[in-house]
């Protein structure tokens, strides 16, 4: 397995592989790899010949210095996990390599970044898109696999790749969950034992909302069903619950004209447990867990 630390090194390797007809798969990460990431790697491996994993904690996408500084960085463990998973190359650049002196450009998400997480995390999606463009330029993949847990991010990146004609197939991989339903996240390791036990309220709140939607309840009642589950947990502080169009990300005020079928509407939530912010989402009319 190769390890590269500069965009130029990474690009040279990828170009050489592409020249021999190899298809490159890409899984961008911020490290602290868990089984969810390994599922993305396996997905990319099924679709391509060589998988590249990036490990880079991107400073441009963090709104709080404490969150950035506290983000786990077990680089040795991550590299070992990649090697065991059969990854062909790891791209682990420094911030200076990605954003050298004089770097000024930012990639703006447009309307998809102005809703949901956007107003709550100013500049976050600009930071995400900027680093993804840089990573795409270095790795030059045919396929890039992202998790659906960050659904808005996935939707924005998919739109950007299409609008800017990158020629990259952006794939959304279903959320990988712990046995109790909690979506796997690198931030989960920062939860105390008590907070981790309480965090099961997040997937259960979505269960309640989906059940309410299936019963034909109004949007307010669907949101209320999720909210009541979170509010019943003392350790949880609800930031938001929203029901939205799966493509435009615009909130639904009414479900009367929304077909009760998968792929149309989703529900998302953000919940705080101490200083850890967890997000989750599901298809509102799913046939199976996504």
pLDDT tens profile 43-54: 999 999 999 999
- Residue count (the chain): 290
Give the residue from 235, 269, 277 showing the smallest Cα distance to 71.
Answer: 277
Tokens of 68: 């950035």
Tell me what the pLDDT averaged over the chain comes to: 96
Q: Is the pLDDT of residue 288 over 70?
A: no
Q: Is the pLDDT of residue 85 over 90?
A: yes
Q: Is the pLDDT of residue 277 over 70?
A: yes
pLDDT-derived band at 281, boundaries 50, 70, 90: very high
pLDDT in tens, 87-120: 999 999 999 999 999 999 999 999 999 999 999 9
Active site residues: 37
What values do phi and psi take at 102, rounded to 5?
A: 95, -5
* Cα(282)–Cα(12) distance, integer angstroms: 39
Give the residue from 180, 189, 239, 185 showing the smallest Cα distance to 207.
Answer: 180
* Cα(193)–Cα(176) distance, integer angstroms: 20
pLDDT in tens, 239-249: 999 999 999 99
pLDDT of residue 290: 42
Q: Is 221 exposed, middle or buried (0-12, 13-18, 19+ CB in 10 A)?
A: middle
Lowest mean pLDDT among 46-60, 149-163, 181-195, 276-290: 276-290
* Cα(109)–Cα(123) distance, integer angstroms: 10
> Looking at residues 70-80, what average pLDDT do you find?
89
pLDDT in tens, 113-149: 999 999 999 999 999 999 999 999 999 999 999 999 9
CB 1 within 8 A of CB 81: no
Relative to beta strand 276-283, strand 265-273 is antiparallel
Q: Is the pLDDT of residue 66 over 80?
A: no
pLDDT in tens, 223-261: 999 999 999 999 999 999 999 999 999 999 999 999 999
> Looking at residues 31-35, what average pLDDT do you find?
94
pLDDT in tens, 162-210: 999 999 999 999 999 999 999 999 999 999 999 999 999 999 999 999 9
Q: Which residue segments constitute the domains of the chain, with CATH numbers given? A: 2-173 (3.40.50.620), 186-282 (3.30.1300.10)
pLDDT of residue 143: 99
pLDDT of residue 289: 46
Q: Could you tell me the pTM of the whole model? A: 0.94
**More confident of the two residues 57 and 237:** 237
């Amino acid at each position: 397995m190769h390890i590269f630390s500069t965009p130029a090194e990474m690009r040279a390797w990828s170009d050489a592989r592409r020249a021999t007809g190899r298809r490159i798969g890409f899984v961008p990460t911020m490290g602290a790899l868990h089984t969810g990431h390994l599922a993305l790697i396996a997905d990319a491996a099924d679709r391509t010949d060589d998988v590249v994993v990036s490990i880079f904690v991107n400073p441009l996408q963090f709104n709080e210095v404490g969150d950035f500084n506290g983000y786990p960085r077990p680089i040795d463990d991550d590299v070992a996990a990649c090697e065991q998973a059969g990854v062909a190359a790891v791209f682990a650049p420094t911030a200076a390599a990605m954003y050298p002196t004089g770097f000024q450009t930012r990639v703006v998400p447009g309307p998809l970044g102005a809703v949901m997480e956007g107003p709550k995390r100013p500049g976050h999606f600009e930071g995400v898109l900027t680093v993804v463009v840089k990573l795409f330029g270095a790795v030059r993949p045919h396929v890039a696999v992202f998790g659906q847990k960050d659904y808005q991010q996935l939707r924005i990146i998919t739109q950007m790749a299409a609008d800017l004609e990158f020629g990259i197939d952006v794939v959304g991989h279903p959320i990988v969950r712990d046995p109790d339903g909690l979506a796997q996240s690198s931030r989960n390791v920062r939860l105390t034992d008590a907070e981790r036990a309480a965090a099961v309220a997040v997937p259960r709140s979505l269960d309640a909302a989906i059940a309410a939607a299936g019963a034909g309840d109004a949007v307010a009642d669907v949101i209320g069903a999720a909210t009541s589950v979170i509010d019943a947990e003392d350790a949880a502080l609800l930031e938001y619950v929203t029901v939205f169009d799966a493509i435009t990300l615009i909130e639904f005020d009414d479900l009367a004209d929304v077909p009760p079928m998968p792929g149309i509407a989703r529900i998302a939530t953000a919940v705080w447990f101490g200083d850890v912010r967890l997000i989750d989402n599901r298809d509102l009319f799913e046939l199976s867990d996504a």
